[in-house]
Copies of this chain bind each other. A is one copy, B any other.
Amino acid sequence: MSELDLLRSTIADELARAMRLFDGELDSRFPFVRELCARVSQFRGKMLRPTLLLLSGKACGQISHDHLLLAAVIEMAHVATLVHDDVLDESEIRRAAPTIHRMTHNEAAVLLGDYLISHAYHLCSSLSTTRASRRIAAATNRVCEGELLQVHHRGDWSLSEELYLEIIRAKTAELTRAACELGAAYAGADESTTAHLAAFGEHVGMAFQIIDDLIDLTADAKVAGKSVGRDAGLGKPTLPVIHALARANPEARSELLELVSAVASGDTTATPRLRERLVESGGIEYARRVARTNVEAALSRIAGLPDSGARQALKLAAEFTLARRA
Residues of A bordering B, CB below 8 Å: 28, 30, 32-33, 36, 81, 84, 87-88, 101-103, 106-108, 110-115, 117-119, 121-122, 124-130, 133-134, 137-138, 140-141, 143-145, 147-149, 151-156, 235
Is B102's CB under 8 angstroms from A155's CB?
Answer: yes
For residue A133, which residues in chain B have a CB less than 8 angstroms away from its CB?
A: 121, 124-125, 130, 133
CB pair B137–A118 under 8 Å, yes or no, is yes
A88 touches which one: B28, B110, B143, B144 (CB < 8 A)?
Answer: B110
Other A-B pairs beyond A88-B107, A101-B152, A102-B155, 13, CB < 8 Å = A84-B111, A87-B87, A102-B152, A102-B156, A117-B117, A121-B137, A122-B134, A124-B133, A125-B125, A126-B130, A126-B134, A128-B130, A133-B133
Residue from B84, B113, B144, B152 in contact with A32 in the complex, judged by beta carbons closer than 8 Å: B152
> Is the CB–CB distance between A141 and B125 below 8 Å?
no
**A115 touching B32 by the CB < 8 A rule?**
no
Contact B130 A127 (CB under 8 A): yes
Give the complex CA separation of A127 and B103 in angstroms: 38
The distance in angstroms between the C-alpha atoms of A129 and B126, with both chains bound, is 10
Cβ of A143: which chain B residues have Cβ within 8 Å of it? 118
* A111/B36 in contact, CB under 8 A: no
B118 touches A141 (CB 8 A): yes
Q: Let me know if B125 and A137 touch, CB within 8 A.
A: yes
Smallest CB separation, A292 vs chain B (Å): 30
Whether the Cβ atoms of A145 and B107 lie closer than 8 Å is no
Nearest 7 interchain pairs by C-beta: A122-B137, A125-B133, A118-B140, A125-B134, A115-B144, A121-B137, A125-B130
Contact B84–A145 (Cβ < 8 Å): no
- Whole-angstrom distance between the Cβ of A224 and the nearest chain B Cβ: 24
Is there contact, CB below 8 Å, between A111 and B130?
Answer: no
Q: Given the known inter-chain contacts A121-B133, A137-B125, A154-B102, please indicate yes or no for A148 contacting B87, CB distance below 8 A.
A: no
Closest to A153 in B: B102
| Complex alpha-carbon distance, A114 and B149, angstroms | 14
